[in-house]
């Protein structure tokens, strides 16, 4: 803004017509009148809540991604440790340890089905209620 513009603005704010071209004075008066009016645009009622919800969701997604990365790194390191232990100790796998379980096939099958059923119920009923509240 140059000195002429500032002087014209001060004169218009004071309510008197300043020096200069009448067209410039009308243009400035029109601009200042438009600037005095409040904008007609109003933010929606729940705008702040939606912004906060979006930020929380974005942060949750970042946290979830970070957790998956660390989970993957942990699995890779665990497998590396198992492979290193097997190679260094000359481990030989033997199924003879499972001969004691052979007599309890029904109990083992029941345990697998029961645990799977509990997992399914937890996933369908309890976790949905926990996340809803």
**Residues 89 and 99 placed together within one structural domain of the fold:** no
Q: How many CA atoms lie within 13 A of 66 on its CB side?
A: 6
Residue 75 has pLDDT above 80, yes or no: yes
Domain with 86 in it = 44-93
Find the length of the chain: 133
**Residues 51 and 64 placed together within one structural domain of the fold:** yes
pTM score, whole prediction: 0.38
**Residues 54 and 86 placed together within one structural domain of the fold:** yes
Residue 88 has pLDDT above 70, yes or no: yes
Number of domain units in the chain: 3
**Residues 75 and 115 placed together within one structural domain of the fold:** no
Cβ within 8 Å of residue 5, ≥6 positions away: 28
- The top-scoring range by mean pLDDT among 17-26, 37-46, 83-92 is 83-92
How many Å apart are CA 39 and CA 49, to the nearest integer?
22
């Amino acid at each position: 803004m140059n000195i002429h513009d500032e002087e014209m603005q001060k004169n218009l704010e004071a309510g008197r017509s300043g020096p200069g071209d009448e067209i410039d004075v009308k243009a400035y008066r029109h601009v200042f009148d438009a600037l005095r009016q409040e904008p007609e645009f109003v933010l929606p009622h729940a705008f702040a809540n939606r912004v906060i919800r979006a930020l929380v969701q974005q942060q949750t997604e970042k946290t979830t991604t970070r957790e998956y990365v660390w989970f993957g790194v942990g699995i890779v390191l665990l497998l590396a440790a198992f492979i290193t232990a097997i190679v260094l100790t000359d481990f030989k796998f033997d199924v003879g340890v499972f001969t004691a379980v052979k007599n309890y096939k029904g109990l083992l099958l029941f345990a697998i089905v029961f645990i799977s059923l509990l997992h399914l119920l937890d996933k369908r009923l309890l976790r949905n209620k926990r996340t809803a509240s």
